[in-house]
Amino acid sequence: MSTHFRNTPAELPVLRLGLAGFTAAEQSLLNVALASRAVPSRINWQLAQLGEADAWCVNGSRTQRLADGTLRILSGLPSGRSIRINLDLIDWPIAFSTPLGSPDFKPAYAFQTDSPASIQSVLAQLEGWARPLMVQFYLASQIVDRELDLRSGVFHVSVHAKLYAMISLRTGIGVWPIADPADLRDAVWSRRPESADAIPKSFVRTDYSQLMWQYATRTMRDCLPPRYRTRQIFLRRPPRLPMRLLNDPSLLLVRELGFTPGSLAELAQRTGMANAQLARHLGALYMVGAITTDPKRAPPPRVVVESGEWDSSFGTGSSTTVDSGPGAEATVKLTASRANAPAASLS
């Protein structure tokens, strides 16, 4: 027999937008558009570094098509660097402002920087692309609000009898790719037997750790329990996540705790992070079971990084190359569902 309940009011997810090729004044205009977008769309947009962004907005007038088919995006800032991208290897949306620097280039998403209506329109298109991510955020928020024990069975999430999502610890999380996040206010959750855990092939899939990580790094909620603010914190295990999802502060905390445990105050001193930032990153590690305040649940301190290489348990990440000047290259990390092949480089 299945049990049913309706969802609690959903909180707003945060989507991250990276900007490339714009002047400081143009960036300010886009930032204003993001802020005004939150009310009608029920989405919080924030500017982010390119490597951590869900979508990019690029100045099309500073975009050049190169002979090898890649695109070069010139910086709009005096001290900035240009970026090279290979659209064939990119799996996140990029919107280009018009006019375009290369007349033969036809982007999938385009907008006019001097038109608020055009900016709002392209943001709506980018939100449409991010629908599965927003639904995943909603699923995680309901798991947290209701303190659901996912070991008790499988959950089907339906809207007007249409299956929008499935949650199973064994087979993972699946989301109908065109599910409208706005419909989730009418969602009904049904607890089903474990035999009902077959996720439809057309659904966008993820696993529990990635679901909760994406939630913890986007929510405005404080995810760190009070005991973590007064007790010693131990590394229980490295996060069971692809390395491409881990941001630099989280990697630093895993490294520090891998050497030796510490209190919140001690970690703030060792990392140089402010308490609020530190608590946010620790909260994300807590949500995926990577840290604990119980020394019995933690292995002996160990070195998780040697010779600049992350422990193999982190999985593999993707990268992009950045040119700090003519002929000079460095490597930076890409996040989200980036492909392993280099997709972008800064020249």
Say how far apart CA 62 and CA 183 lie, in whole Å: 39
Per-residue pLDDT reduced to its tens digit, 205-239: 999 999 999 999 988 889 999 999 999 999 999 99
The mean pLDDT value for 273-300 works out to 94
CB distance 243 to 317 below 8 Å: yes
pLDDT of 276 > 50? The answer is yes
- Percentage above 90 pLDDT, the chain: 52
Say how far apart CA 58 and CA 50 lie, in whole Å: 11
- Looking only at the bridges linking them, the beta strands covering 14-20 and 318-325 are unpaired
pLDDT for residue 6: 60
Q: How far is CA 346 from CA 19, 255, 315, in A?
A: 13, 28, 25
β-bridge partners, 47: 17
* pTM for this model (two decimals): 0.75
CB distance 175 to 157 below 8 Å: no
Burial (0-12, 13-18, 19+ Cβ within 10 Å), 68: exposed
% helix, strand, coil for the chain, step of 5? 35, 25, 40
Other C-beta atoms lying within 10 Å of the C-beta of residue 123? 25
CB-based contacts of 270, cutoff 8 Å, min separation 6: 256, 262
pLDDT for residue 5: 58
CB distance 199 to 210 below 8 Å: no
Of the listed ranges 73-77, 172-176, 283-287, 318-322, the least confidently predicted one is 318-322
Tokens 């608590």 correspond to what residue?
279
Which domains are seen in the chain, by residue range? 14-129 (3.40.50.2300), 132-216 (no CATH), 226-314 (no CATH)
The one-letter amino acid at 49: Q
Tokens at 336, concatenated: 């989200």
CB distance 205 to 17 below 8 Å: no
Q: How many residues does the chain have?
A: 347
pLDDT of 306 > 80? The answer is no
